[in-house]
Amino acid sequence: MISLLDYISLFGHGIAAALFGALAIWQFQRKVDRNSKQIWLVIAIALTSFWALSIAVEGHLSPISRFAETLRNCGWLAFMFILLRAGEGRDEPKTVNTIYAALAFVLIGQMLVDSLLPALSGSPRLEGVTLYTSLVLRMIFAVGALVLVHNLYSISAPETRWGIRLPMASLAAIWTFDLNLFTITYLTQQTPVELHAMRGPMMAVIAPILALAALRNTEWNLKLSRSVAFRSLSLVAIGSYLLMMVVIATALQIIGGDYARLAQISFLFGTSIGALLLLPSGRFRAWLKVKLAKNFFQHRYDYRSEWIRFTDTVGRPGAGSAPFHERVIKAIADITDSPAGILLVPDDSGQLVLQSRWNWSSIEVPTRACTNRTTAFFEETSHIVEFDTLRAGQDDKCDATAIPDWMNHDDRIWVGVPLVHFDRLAGLMLLARPRINRTLDWEDLDMLRVVGRQVASYLAESRSQESLSEVQRFDEFNRRMAFIMHDIKNLVSQLSLLAGNAKRHADNPEFQADMIETLQDSTVKMNGLLERLSQHNKSHPEEPKAVKVGALIQSTIEKKRLLHHLESNWVEDLTVFADPARVDQILGHLIQNAIDASTEDQSITINARRRDLSVAIEVCDQGTGMSNEFIRSQLFKPFASSKEGGFGIGAYEARELARAMNGRLEVESTEGVGSRFTLILPLAKHLPEKISADERAA
């Protein structure tokens, strides 16, 4: 008669076989570029399906089931080894390779021992020894496999652990169950049929987890961390577990009597539930971390990983990340598992004020956060304050007058870390009490002191960047103001000349009309200057376009002829590719410079002619001229001028405007003879329809 446990075993292993078989087929048929890791994953899944099917058909004690179990373990061991060898970042430790090789020999020995069982069935004594040897080999493999699972996960870089977390957890569950099964069998000298029956349902639950893992990590890429070598902690933990199992199982066997097996299963169930309740608890994890650091490791911190995490937190903000000062607080708080913190920085008067807070909205910080002695004390000593020690009166190095009362009276404040940069206090960070209260040791103090100096440099750099940005804004404003002042000077010079000529020609109607037009043009330019001066001005120059040179020069002469005698000897009928407003501005600068360098009886000539694929617009005067040295070293430098009261901006701005239109500005000058400024602009290759029509009409 088939019992309930037989039904559970049959259907559990049957469902597991079906699920793993379907998973293997799905993984094999996926349209991805297959690599060795994916191939061995498919093989391991298929061998697991074969193992579950053999138990469903033949039972867990049959030779084929034992052989299938060994093949399943071989498949997963090979998958883990291939995953490790393909990992990027460093070579795997020799210790790990040795364990893989040792487990491979264990599996080979397991196959040989299992193959002897049918031949020794007639000899109970030899059969018992063989079964005992096979059981021991299975226990050894389960222990070694768990060690390798822990090692593979621990040496992977944090950024790639998410991709192997589910498969490693699944393999850990498989071999942990096997270890429990074989350990209880070894200790009780009886076959726990209940655990054998539950193996199938457990594997059926693991199959969807592996499917989800395959979806999350299609390439199975693994990056190894250089900071982690092989650790023996997992081996110590598993050894301790085995010892505990021996003691508890033996005690249950003695005390429990007929209910020993029920007690054993209840113990396993209770420990599993306890793990599920305790491991998600932040307080328990903090306690466990403290105990492990204190008792199992020579150093509390993995300095390389801590430094990488610290640097990434501060210096590599992602999309939607917290502001810089909050990241600074978090970077230091994470080192000591502090859940919150605040940052105080000096203001312009040197008094510490609240700059930012992280996860600590409830703490109230006074406007005057510190005493007059605070800044000087921390700059002199760089002393890290443990407030529990200070409140107990045991901190002899701390000046009580340097610590304000509100810090002393708030029990939530745990540690104060001064941020000193070149003997200047860049800030003071206050950290909240961690979940598991503890005192700082020398390693904590050294770590906080080092990262405090590093954070101080970040804060100093941040303040320098802010100051530089402010200076750059003022520099931009001053630069804009210099150009505006130069243009205003030009307008004032024009209006002064216009006023002087008005005394001689005020009765001339033509002069009056030209004077009104000139005044209107000056008004438009002054309004434009006011717009340029405004910080809200968002106007941009027009894009270059085809422009008639003759019309530009004629317009310029009309605007300036009341100020000085201008003439044009030769202007070819050409079209340039430029911005008319900028060309007008360049010619305005050049003509004004020529007027300033000339007397009233010296004429100024404007010509335009073709030069290869360009157009050369010349502004010639017969004024004072310039030396070659001045042209070479000072002419096109801002704020350098040969004229008394000059700004030295006109020639510089004219050259920059020409360059903005893919042109250039040339100059020839002789002292006492005069100067020729030549504006070179690209010739328009294709004329717009409107200009072409105007040419045909002319």
CATH number at residue 570: 3.30.565.10
The letter for the amino acid at 517 is E
Instruction: Please tell me whether residues 77 and 198 are part of one structural domain.
Output: yes
Sequence letter at residue 136: V
Residue 224 sits in the same domain as residue 312: no
Q: So what's the pLDDT on residue 72? A: 92
Residues 194 and 314 in one domain: no
Instruction: Give the residue among 411, 415, 442, 412 at the shortest CA–CA distance from 429.
Output: 415
The reply to whether 16 and 158 lie within a common domain is yes
**Does residue 671 contact residue 626 with C-beta atoms inside 8 Å?**
yes
Of 422, 445, 460, the residue at which a domain comes to its end is 460
The sign of the CA dihedral 397, 398, 400, 405 is negative
Task: Tell me how long the chain is.
Answer: 698
Residue 98 belongs to domain with CATH number: 1.20.1070
Query: Tokens standing for 114?
Result: 């299992």
**Does the residue 530 lie in any domain?**
no
Same domain assignment for residues 85 and 221: yes
Please give the structure tokens belonging to residue 32.
């991805």
- Same domain? For 45 and 182 the reply is yes
Looking at the structure, tell me whether residues 312 and 202 fall in a common domain: no
Q: How many helical (H) and strand (E) elements, i.e. helices and strands, does the chain have?
A: 22, 12
How many CA atoms are closer than 13 Å to the CA of 271, on its beta-carbon side? 12
pLDDT averaged per 10 residues, the chain (length 698): 76 90 85 74 90 88 89 90 70 67 88 84 79 85 84 69 78 87 80 84 88 71 49 52 57 55 60 54 53 50 77 74 87 89 86 89 86 87 90 86 89 92 90 84 85 89 79 70 70 72 73 74 71 53 81 82 79 86 86 86 89 91 87 75 64 86 91 92 67 44
Within-domain flag for 263: no
Pair of tokens at residue 212 = 């989800």
Structure tokens at 70: 């060994």
Is the residue at 175 inside a domain?
yes
Question: Residue 631 to residues 184, 308, 359, 595, 653: CA-CA distances in angstroms?
Answer: 98, 55, 63, 18, 15
Q: Is residue 410 part of a domain?
A: yes
Q: Are 683 and 576 in contact (CB under 8 A)?
A: yes
Q: Let me know whether 555 and 446 are in one domain.
A: no
Whole-model pTM: value is: 0.42
87 with 204, same domain: the answer is yes
Of 415, 417, 412, 413, whose CA–CA distance to 428 is shortest? Answer: 417
- Identify the domain boundary among 460, 486, 511: 460
Q: What is the pLDDT, as a whole number, of residue 340?
A: 92
CATH (domain of 311): 3.30.450.40
- Give the end of a domain, one of 214, 229, 244: 229
Count of the separate structural domains present in the chain: 3
Question: Does some domain include residue 222?
Answer: yes
Q: Tell me the residue range of the domain where 593 lies.
A: 540-697
Is 202 in the same domain as 310?
Answer: no
Nearest to 384 by CA among 445, 331, 459: 445
Residues 445 and 563 placed together within one structural domain of the fold: no
Instruction: Give domain status of residue 120, yes or no.
Output: yes
Predicted confidence at residue 348, as pLDDT, reads 75
What's residue 117's pLDDT? 80
- Is 579 in contact with 644 (CB distance < 8 Å)? no
Confidence at residue 310, expressed as pLDDT on a 0 to 100 scale? 83
Please tell me the predicted confidence (pLDDT) of residue 28. 83
**Do residues 378 and 425 lie in contact, with contact meaning Cβ atoms separated by under 8 Å?**
yes
Pairing of strands 664-670, 674-682: antiparallel
Return the pLDDT at 679.
93
Residue 481 lies in a domain: no
The reply to whether 572 falls in a domain is: yes
Indicate if 632 and 548 belong to the same structural domain: yes
Question: How far apart, in whole angstroms, are the C-alpha atoms of residue 666 and residue 614?
Answer: 13
